[in-house]
Chain A
Amino acid sequence: MRKVYTRPRLLKRVPFHYCPGCGHSVVHRVMTELIDEMNLGDRIIGIPPPGCSVFAYHYFDVDMAESAHGRGAAVATGIKRAFPEAIVFTYQGDGDLAAIGTAETIHAANRGERITAIFINNAVYGMTGGQMAPTTLSDQVTTTTPYGRDTKIEGYPIRMSEIVALIRGAVYIERTAVNSPANIRKTKKAIRKAFQAQIDDLGFSLVEILSPCPTNWRMTPLESWQWIDKVMTKEFPLGVIKDITGKNDAD
């Protein structure tokens, strides 16, 4: 029999530290597959964030440089300008990109930096214990909103992709999810297009990925994967938000 599916070459063979059912490791796998397929292994540089994915460099067998909280886009800017031939991506959560790093992200996009931001949105602060994030849904119960998020007091869930899409330097923005085989394949395709926009020297690209957090949502892994479809995509609709790369899909 022929082996049709195996662990990607660029994903180190160590157990993930993530909780059972977490979306981070799915994204890690999709990205390492893609980096190998696009033959970028020797020129890609990743910027992992503080947060649950702080140890991403333990798993990706590519060059990585840790950034301070929220400063991923700023660090990526420096690396990209020092090594213009490198393909630079930031890997950021919603506490990183949508809260403390909003300014860096928006200004990196506005400068049209040739970098790719991978934005993992799980609607809570994962590593610190499930507190409310800017992306937490209305009425969602977290440890700091025990009666549900009250939009009068705590504001509305922030839609970063739509905000960044208004900026002229951003060329490719898509929102996907990792909660079904079809969505996982779409995520891979979206990241491929985002990397391609950078390879073609067009501008800033961002892929927002809705990711399950069973531990902090107080759900089983399967319930959390279904909750993305049932609840989360109502607030954060999936699809291409902006594409001015000029390369429309044949399909």
Chain B
Amino acid sequence: MSSGKTGSKIKGYIEIDQELCKGCQICIAFCPKDVISLSDKLNSSGYLPVLFNDSGECTGCAICAVVCPEVAIEVYRG
């Protein structure tokens, strides 16, 4: 049984393909939980890709994947 503040929360996580990402940062702007940030390492195309910070806040709402122009994000929810 889930109860309390943390138990009822929907948990999720995302996987970002670092090679497909072009660092346009649209997902950062639309993420309601601010769990995506910009990397400081270039990928092989010379872009700074975004990173997922797994702080337990992600709900797997998939808004990042809906807006991602590179289709680089996969979303899991459980």
Residues of A in contact with B (beta carbons under 8 Å apart):
1-8, 11, 15-16, 18-23, 25-26, 29, 180-181, 184-185, 214, 220-222, 225
Contacts and interface: CB of A to CB of B under 8 A. Distances in A.
A3 B76 contact: yes
Contact of A2 (B29, B47, B76): B76
A158 B64 CA distance: 33
Contact of A5 (B11, B62, B69, B78): B62
27 contacts: A1-B12, A1-B13, A4-B60, A4-B76, A5-B73, A15-B19, A15-B20, A15-B45, A15-B70, A16-B70, A20-B22, A20-B69, A21-B24, A23-B69, A25-B71, A180-B30, A180-B67, A181-B63, A181-B66, A181-B67, A184-B66, A221-B24, A221-B26, A221-B69, A222-B25, A222-B26, A225-B26
B64 to A, nearest CB: 9
Contacts, number: 76
A22 to B, nearest CB: 6
Interface of B: 11-13, 19-20, 22-26, 29-30, 45, 47, 60, 62-63, 65-67, 69-71, 73-78
Given A5-B62, A15-B19, A20-B23, A184 B67 contact: yes
A180 B32 CA distance: 13
Given A1-B13, A3-B76, A5-B74, 16 more contacts: A4-B12, A4-B77, A5-B62, A7-B74, A11-B71, A15-B20, A15-B45, A20-B47, A21-B22, A21-B24, A23-B69, A26-B67, A29-B71, A181-B30, A181-B66, A222-B25
Nearest to B22: A20
A5 B24 contact: no
A5 B65 contact: yes
B49 to A, nearest CB: 11
Nearest to A7: B71
A91 B26 CA distance: 24
Nearest to B30: A181
A4 B19 CA distance: 21
Which residue, of A3, A7, A15, A26, has the highest number of chain B Cβ atoms within 10 A? A15
Contact of B69 (A3, A8, A22): A22
